[in-house]
Structure 1
Amino acid sequence: MTNEHRSGPVRSTAAREAILDATSRLFHNQGYDRLTIEGIAKEAGVGKQTIYRWWPSRGALIGECLAEGRLVPVDFEVPDTGELLSDVESWLRSVLSILDAPEGGVLLRSLVAAATEDAGVGQHLGQSLGVEEHLGSRLRAGIRAGQLPETAPVQEIGRAILGAIIVEALGREARDPESVVRLARFLFSR
């Protein structure tokens, strides 16, 4: 008898989706600190071993949710109107709107906590916010257009801006999202 028509792959796909959905839901409801593999397994209706078969840690699981747009679902593309500073400011205001949304700061702080456990989360965070792809692409277009020097360190500029966004999110008292915009204005003023 052949196993070609087994429901294993279908169940695996369904289990994977249930796990990612449960992780996203619990992450948003409880934050990273209270998120456990046991809780995810219970919420998803699977065993812990099923989760560990695909992900080595809760940080890796968060990283995948982030990479799939389950935690930060907005697409943060950088416009290209020909005005580099204006385009970067527009992108920054979109990203900073996360902090202004209900629970936005908590979400970002939880993602930073997850990144301390799994470096992939930090990488996925930058990708989700469009730092590597969209901002980097727009900065390279700015170099080609003569709006930035040819030697402008595109990757480092993106990381500096992402770092400023994260530091702003970590500051729980007097938040000033405009400080990140002022940083961008300084970086791109000529």
Structure 2
Amino acid sequence: MDAVEPAPEKAPRGRPRSATSHQAVLNAVARLLDEQHQDYETLTIEGIAAEAGVGKQTIYRWWSTKAAVLLEAILTGHVKMHIGEVDDTGDLREDLSRWVQVLRTNLFDAQSVSLARALVSAAIIEEVNLEDYLTQNELELTAMPYKRLIAEARRGGLRSDADVSAALGALVYPIILRLISGVTPEPEWFDALVDVVVNGVGR
């Protein structure tokens, strides 16, 4: 009697365990910051592991410090700063002015200040170039005005020699600095900032 060949095992469904755990950790960081209102100082590897339902060694498999975990969570959009889109009405100055005033209303709160400080702290600890991260990744605070500036450049609304990256930095970095300081500027300060940027690159 011929031997019966065992049936081949079915491949497990779903995402690989490592990828699932990786996402669980990033989601856990988001919950700890957004829902439980922890800040960088109170955030711990132990707390992240417990929230994610993984062991500490699972976290250390991908990240060397909590700063590295937080940096990836922010830059991949798991942790959001609730930045709105920049409208495109055809008037760059007006569009940017409205956007920065929305930022003043929605962004300058205790949670966002803590998050901005955490981003800078994580970048310093991990010894990364924060400017590169801000300009090369889809971080909402830079992605939204960048898209608007690029659209303006494509329709010929900016000088031909205008440096869009420099204009983006001139607009966003002062806002980040004020955000980290915890001081909410007056509406006139934001309007003046937009004037500087638009006058610098506009036709």
Q: Which bracket does the TM-score occupy, shorter chain normalised?
A: 0.7 to 0.9
Q: Distance in 2 between matches of 1:158 and 1:73?
A: 18
1:127 aligned residue: 138
Shift of 1:85: 0.6
Shift of 1:156: 1.1
* Greater Cα offset, 92-101 or 41-50: 92-101
1:1-190 equivalence runs, <5 A = 4-6=10-12, 9-28=15-34, 29-72=37-80, 74=82, 76-118=84-126, 119=128, 123=133, 127-131=138-142, 133-172=143-182, 174-176=183-185, 178=187, 179-189=189-199
Q: Distance in 2 between matches of 1:34 and 1:130?
A: 24
* One-letter amino acid of the counterpart of residue 164, structure 2: V
Name which one, 1 or 2, has greater alpha-carbon Rg: 2
SS of equivalent residue, structure 2 residue 161: coil
Shift of 1:109: 1.9
TM (normalized to structure 1)? 0.79
Q: Distance in 2 between matches of 1:124 and 1:11?
A: 31
Cα pair 1:67 1:128 within 8 Å, conserved:
yes
* Greater Cα offset, 179-188 or 5-14: 5-14
| Count of matched residue positions in the alignment of Structure 1 and Structure 2 | 188
Gaps in structure 1 of 5+ consecutive residues: none
What CA RMSD, in Å, does the superposition of the two structures yield over aligned residues? 3.0
Cα pair 2:29 2:79 within 8 Å, conserved:
no
* One-letter amino acid of the counterpart of residue 146, structure 2: G
Gaps in structure 2 of 5+ consecutive residues: 1-5
SS of equivalent residue, structure 1 residue 30: coil
Relative to structure 1, is the Cα distance of residues 79 and 36 closer, same or farther in structure 2, using a 3 angstrom cutoff? Answer: same
TM (normalized to structure 2)? 0.74
Counting helix residues as a fraction of each chain, which structure ranks higher? 1
Relative to structure 1, is the Cα distance of residues 124 and 160 closer, same or farther in structure 2, using a 3 angstrom cutoff? Answer: closer
Deviations 1:61-107 (A, max 9, x none): 22332234222163533221110111112232333344334522222
